Amino acid sequence: MNTQINQDAPRVGFVSLGCPKASSDAEHILTRLRSEGYEISPSYDEADLVVVNTCGFIDAAVEESLEAIGEALAENGKVIVTGCLGARDDVVLAAHPQVLAVTGPHATEEVMQAVHKHLPKPHHPFIDLLPPQGVRLTPPHYAYLKISEGCNHRCTFCIIPSLRGDLVSRPIHEVMREAETLAAAGVKELLVISQDTSAYGVDVKYRTGFWGGKPVRTRLLDLARALGELGIWIRMHYVYPYPSVDELIPLMAEGKILPYLDVPFQHASPRILKAMKRPANAENVLERVRKWRSICPELTIRSTFITGFPGETEDDFEQLLQFLDEAQLDRVGAFAYSPVEGAAANELPAAVPAEVREERRMRLMSFQEDISTQRLEARIGSEMTVLVDEVDEDGALARSPGDAPEIDGLVIIPDGEDLEVGDFVRVRITDCDIHDLYAERVEQGGA
């Protein structure tokens, strides 16, 4: 990519908040901006206007987004708002009526129209302003690959469908073209994301597409097989535990994709799962987890849970702890229930006091801490290939196949100061703490 700044080009500042799906939206917008000759400004005072990509999933995210918009207005004065909170333009405009425009999520065209209106594009953009892989917010060695938009679920605690709409799967040839371009650009790990990764292709009845001259169905198994041929790490996120997920596990055992599943279970009490409008059979989930691990013993499972959902009793919460004890999940995140404006759960009876919600969250994390630590301890003495994220004079920070960037743990390599970011390296695990592994180099190898 040409790093020389065109001093005469119009400059756009960019602030991006929220989840990887929001980051993926941001990357599409940034790619369009750069392809049309706009410069991306690193500061408010050098920008001609600022785009703020917001999050609106929970109240805390709404507050953070409104603060970010206010800061951009105070520092620059010209602000375009996009992202999930943008779908609630009344909230944005009530707090900041002076913004130039408000658009919802995955709205690249609408954002560009607003930019063109308030900051006309250059007449002669150079072809070398944009690398083939587009503009990325992630480091060069990993990237998010979004395979669909929206969600067909109507979970009572969630307003994502009202923000992002129903499921719309990307054509499989388009997904594979992006994946191949990223791999050719040096990306070593693709993180497959969507609101509901397991449902990929449901909306188009698993339509057959073509890639590399061969027919490929628009469904997760076929996509995983095709991605597995790229020779890089493929990591699956936001995978609902449908029966079709079982088909992925042999691919993991064969080393085609990483032995990693990010499955948002949310709870284990059948009564609470029913109130959430989630699948309500924890016993079947436990049996399937056991089956997955029998096929692929190296499988890492991460999940998230909500404590203090309306109507949750102490018995419901104990059922959740019992589930964690039996499931022995590797990585767990927990959130105290937060009422979200527009969510159906707000109307449910028997609201749990805020202090009880938080107390249960802390108890869950304390309970899970021992399980996670024991599972890390079981890796001591084993060898594995890791991917290097950072290097300095104190060594290297890497990730194992069981660690996604930013949300999971690290593999700390004290003798890795001569490694390079993006290297795959073979290590032996020597120790661990609550979250991270410590390792020594064995030999440097490929993926």
Q: Any bridge partners for residue 431, and if so which? A: 438
Residue showing tokens 């410069």: 39
CATH at 21: 3.40.50.12160
**Was 151 annotated as part of a binding site?**
yes
Regarding whether 407 and 319 lie in a shared domain, the answer is no
Residue 300 located in a structural domain: yes
Q: First CA to last CA across the chain, in angstroms?
A: 26
| Burial grade of 344 (CB within 10 A; 0-12, 13-18, 19 or more) | middle
On whether the CB atoms of residues 263 and 301 are closer than 8 A, the answer is: yes
Percent of the chain with pLDDT over 70: 93
pLDDT at 127: 42
Mean pLDDT in the chain? 89
Picking from 85, 102, 118, the residue at the C-terminal end of a domain is 118
| Number of H-type helices and E-type strands within the chain | 12, 20
How many structural domains are present in the chain?
3
On whether the CB atoms of residues 394 and 348 are closer than 8 A, the answer is: no
**Was 432 annotated as part of a binding site?**
no
Amino acid symbol at 130: L
Interval 419-431: pLDDT, tens: 999 999 999 999 9
pLDDT at 340: 83
Q: Domain of residue 390: give its range.
A: 382-441
Query: If we measure between CA atoms, which residue out of 408, 420, 342 comes closest to residue 162?
Result: 342
pLDDT at 133: 63
Picking from 335, 350, 378, the residue at the C-terminal end of a domain is 378
Regarding whether 299 and 430 lie in a shared domain, the answer is no
DSSP state of 77: S
Would you call 187 helix, strand, or coil by DSSP? coil
pLDDT at 420: 95
Residue 137 located in a structural domain: no
Regarding whether 392 and 356 lie in a shared domain, the answer is no
Regarding whether 394 and 298 lie in a shared domain, the answer is no
Query: If we measure between CA atoms, which residue out of 279, 264, 276 comes closest to residue 156?
Result: 276
CATH at 148: 3.80.30.20
Would you call 71 helix, strand, or coil by DSSP? helix
Query: If we measure between CA atoms, which residue out of 436, 402, 438, 444 comes closest to residue 420?
Result: 444
**Was 296 annotated as part of a binding site?**
no
Picking from 361, 378, 395, the residue at the C-terminal end of a domain is 378
Interval 150-169: pLDDT, tens: 888 888 888 878 877 889 99
Regarding whether 357 and 395 lie in a shared domain, the answer is no
Radius of gyration of the chain (CA): 23
Regarding whether 79 and 170 lie in a shared domain, the answer is no
Residues of the chain falling short of pLDDT 50: 1-4, 125-128, 444-447
Residue 129 located in a structural domain: no
Regarding whether 165 and 264 lie in a shared domain, the answer is yes
On whether the CB atoms of residues 220 and 201 are closer than 8 A, the answer is: yes
Residue 395 located in a structural domain: yes
Contacts of 412 (CB under 8 A, 6+ apart): 395, 396, 397, 398, 436, 437, 438, 439
Q: Alpha-carbon distance 269 to 318, whole Å?
A: 9
Residue 164 located in a structural domain: yes
Residue 1 located in a structural domain: no
Q: Is the pTM of this model over 0.85?
A: no
Regarding whether 369 and 392 lie in a shared domain, the answer is no
Regarding whether 172 and 98 lie in a shared domain, the answer is no
Regarding whether 298 and 275 lie in a shared domain, the answer is yes
Q: Any bridge partners for residue 411, and if so which? A: 398, 437
Residue 124 located in a structural domain: no
pLDDT at 292: 96
Q: Alpha-carbon distance 195 to 205, whole Å?
A: 18
Regarding whether 280 and 256 lie in a shared domain, the answer is yes
Would you call 428 helix, strand, or coil by DSSP? strand
Contacts of 391 (CB under 8 A, 6+ apart): 397, 416, 417, 419, 420, 421
Regarding whether 59 and 29 lie in a shared domain, the answer is yes
pLDDT at 134: 66
pLDDT at 1: 37
Residue 57 located in a structural domain: yes
CATH at 390: 2.40.50.140
Residue showing tokens 């292709």: 201
